[in-house]
Structure 1
Amino acid sequence: MRNFLFVVAVLATLLNGQLVASTEEVKSSSLIFKSSLVSSSISSSPSESDSSLLDSRNSISLSNRIENEHGRGNKPDPQTLVQIEKNLLSLFGFEKRPKVDRSKIVIPEAMKKLYAQIMGHELETDLEAPKADLFNKEANTVRSYTHEESNVDNRFKYHNRFRLFFNVSNIPEKERLRDAEITFNRNQIKNVNNIRHQIDVYDILRPGRKHKKRKPIFRLTASRVVNINETGSISLNVMSAVKRWLREPKRNHGMLVHISALDDRSNSINIDDSFIVPSHEHIRLKRSIDDSPENWAQAQPLLFTYTDDGRYKQRSIRDANRSRRAPGKGKRRKQNHDVCQRRPLYVDFSDVGWNDWIVAPPGYEAFYCHGECNFPIADHLNTTNHAIVQTLVHSINSNLAPKACCVPTQLSSISMLYLDDQNKVVLKNYQDMTVVGCGCR
Structure 2
Amino acid sequence: MIQRSLEIMYCMDSNIALWETAGDTKKGVKDPRLRHKGHDVLHFTFSDTVTKFHVSNATLYIFIKGAERRPLPDVVIEVFKVKKITDHPDPPGFNRVFAKKMTQPLGRGDWVKVDFTETVSEWFKNPRENHGFVVNATANGKKVVVTDNNVDKGRKIPFVEISTVEPKRRLRRNLGLNCDDTMNEPLCCRYPLMVDFEEIGFDFIIAPKRYDAHMCAGECPFVTLQKYAHTHLIMMSSPNSAQPCCAPRKMSAISMLYFDEQLNVVYGSLPGMVVDRCGCS
TM range (shorter): 0.5 to 0.7
Q: Could you tell me how far 1:237 is from its partner in structure 2? A: 1.0
2:16/2:40 contact within 8 Å kept: no
Aligned equivalent of 1:430, options 259, 275, 279: 275
Structure 2 residue 102 is matched with structure 1 residue 237 = no
Could you give the per-residue CA deviations for residues 173-192 of structure 1, whole angstroms, max 9, x where no partner exists? 44221111210123321324
Following superposition, the deviation at residue 216 of structure 1 comes to 2.8
- The amino acid across from 1:222 in the alignment is F
In the other structure, the counterpart of 1:285 is 147
1:257 equivalent to 2:93? Answer no
Structure 2 residue runs of 5 or longer lacking an equivalent are: 22-34, 189-218, 226-235, 257-265
What pairs up with 1:297-336 in 2 under 5 angstroms?
297-309=154-166, 313-316=174-177, 323-324=185-186
Q: Return the TM-score normalized by structure 2.
A: 0.57
Secondary structure of 1:299 counterpart: coil
Q: Give the letter for the 1:140 counterpart.
A: S
Structure 1 residue identity aligned to 2:246: Q
Aligned partners of 1:160 and 1:279 also within 8 Å: no
Per-residue Cα deviation, 1:317-349 (whole angstroms, up to 9, x for no partner): 7999994379xxxxxxxxxxxxxxxxxxxxxxx
Supply the distance in 2 between the matched residues of 1:319 and 1:166 (Cα, whole angstroms): 33
Alignment pair present for 1:228 and 2:104: yes
2:245 is aligned with 1:409: yes
CA–CA distance in 2 between the matches of 1:209 and 1:170?
A: 26
What residue identity is the alignment partner of 2:244? P
Match of 2:153 in 1: 296
Runs of 4+ in 1 over 6 A off after TM superposition: 156-160, 317-322
Distance in 1 (alpha carbons) for counterparts of 2:7 and 2:37? 29
Match of residue 150, structure 1, among 15, 21, 34: 15
Show CA shifts across 1:382-410 (max 9, x none): 643799xxxxxxxxxxxxx8555756331
Match of 1:364 in 2: none
Q: Does the 8 A contact of 2:20 with 2:39 survive in 1?
A: no
Greater strand proportion:
2
- Compute the displacement of 1:199 (Å): 1.1
Counterpart residue number, 1:18: none
Q: Distance in 2 between matches of 1:161 and 1:155?
A: 7
Secondary structure of 2:17's partner? helix
Equivalents in 1 of 2:223, 2:76: separation in Å?
64
CA 1:180–1:417 in structure 2 vs 1: closer, same or farther (change >3 Å)? closer
Q: Could you tell me which amino acid in structure 2 is paired with residue 408 of structure 1?
A: P
1:300 and 1:203 map into 2 onto residues whose CA distance is 17
Secondary structure at the residue paired with 1:245? Answer: helix
Aligned-residue offset at 1:313? 4.3
Residues 257 and 149 of structure 1: is their aligned pair in 2 closer, same or farther, counting only changes over 3 Å? Answer: same
1:186 and 1:284 in contact (8 A); partners too: yes
Report deviation, 1:254. Answer: 0.1
Q: How big is the shift at 1:287? A: 3.6
Q: 1:252: how far off?
A: 1.1
From the CA coordinates, give the structure whose radius of gyration is larger. Answer: 1
- Counterparts of 1:425 and 1:303, CA distance in 2: 15
Matches within 5 A, 1:19-168: 140-150=5-15, 152-153=17-18, 155=20, 161-168=39-46
After superposition, the Cα gap between the structure-2 partners of 1:314 and 1:385, relative to the gap in structure 1 and judged at 3 Å, is: closer
Point out where structure 1 has 5 or more consecutive residues left out of the alignment: 1-136, 262-268, 272-277, 327-380, 388-400
Greater relative contact order, per chain length (Cα 8 Å cut-off, separation 6+): 1
Task: State the secondary structure of the residue aligned to 2:244.
Answer: strand
Which amino acid counterpart does residue 226 of structure 1 have in structure 2? M
CA distance in 2, matches of 1:146, 1:233: 14
- 1:218 paired to 2:94: yes
SS at match of 1:172: helix
Q: Distance in 2 between matches of 1:143 and 1:415?
A: 11
Distance in 1 (CA, whole Å) between partners of 2:37 and 2:124 is 28
* Offset at residue 253 of structure 1 (A): 0.6
Counterparts of 1:232 and 1:173, CA distance in 2? 30
Cα distance in 1 for residues equivalent to 2:179 and 2:62: 41
**What is the SS of the residue equivalent to 1:243?**
helix
Structure with bigger helix share is 1
Q: Which amino acid aligns with 2:156?
A: A
Give the SS at the match of 1:184: strand
Residues 80 and 97 of structure 2 are in contact (CA less than 8 Å); yes or no, is this contact kept in structure 1?
yes
Q: CA deviation at 1:426?
A: 4.6
- CA 1:407–1:203: 2 relative to 1, 3 Å: farther
Matches of 1:386 and 1:287 in 2, distance apart?
54
User: How many residues are paired up?
Assistant: 207
Identity of aligned residues (%): 12
Match for residue 222 of structure 2? 384
